[in-house]
Amino acid sequence: MEPWATADQVWQGALIFGRIGAVMLMLPGVGESYVPPRIRLSLALLISLVLWPVVAGALPALPSTLGGMAGWIIREVLVGLAIGAILRAFMTALSTAGETVSLQTALSFAQTANPLQAQPGTTISAFLMLLGTTLIFATNTHHLFLAGLVGSYDLIAPARPLIAGDFVSLAVGTVNDAFLLGIQLAAPVLVFGLIFNLASGLVARVMPQFQVFFAAAPLSIILGLSVFALSLGVVGTVFIDRYRAVANVFVGGAGG
């Protein structure tokens, strides 16, 4: 080992790879099930080698026991999984918005395979999640992920005690914000659905003989999708701005 790397260098590389590899398993776009595991591992190894000179000073020394080594590795893997889970949890805002729009447009029965959730979902929800992932890479938001990985070693330094309560608070707040944002993104369609249903009920009361359902169902789909299409640009802009704010939580550790 000595001609190539010292024991301390191998230990530092293993610690960095433990955190980075765990994050790569959860990141949107990179950690999906359709991405080959070799690609993810290769990317994690490459990023670990790049970050090694930057964060090596924040890493603990090589423990003298095997149990100590295993404990540090498990700790770094758990930290990486927590960071990746928080970044992925915010993507549920688009899923919530898609499900809400589908309910309002009577398209909730139209199920399709959602590649980002590895389970069936509504077509609009799958479309929005694919749109969000595309926007992350199109707007270079994934660069914040790399900066956040460096900042995480200041925000969650390996030498400091791991405070699980902060992770829980951040995770709960992220899920809460994601659900609230999902409802806000679907607000134009929700307002349309409220007005349309009120108008349909009024027509049914004024003209009892008129078959409101047969006329309202296709109009609800056509007009609802039209409102959704018109608000799609705002939906993408608001989501990517809020997502960048979530990613900046970890980036801020590098500047603080």
Residue 56 burial (CB count, 10 A): 15
CA distance linking residue 44 with residue 14, whole number of Å = 11
Cα first-last separation, the chain? 37
In sequence order, the 6+-apart residues with CB closer than 8 A to the CB of 4 are: none
H helices present in the chain, as ranges: 7-24, 37-55, 66-89, 92-104, 123-138, 142-155, 164-185, 187-206, 212-230, 232-255
Percentage of the chain lying above the pLDDT 70 cut: 91
DSSP state, residue 3: T
State pLDDT tens for residues 49-87: 888 888 887 788 888 888 888 888 888 898 888 888 888
State pLDDT tens for residues 175-225: 999 999 999 999 999 999 899 888 888 888 888 777 777 777 888 888 888
Q: Is 111 helix (H, G, I), strand (E, B) or coil?
A: strand
The amino acid occupying position 207 is M
The pTM for the full model equals 0.80
Q: What is the mean pLDDT of residues 225-230?
A: 91
CA atoms within 13 A on the CB side of 187: 8
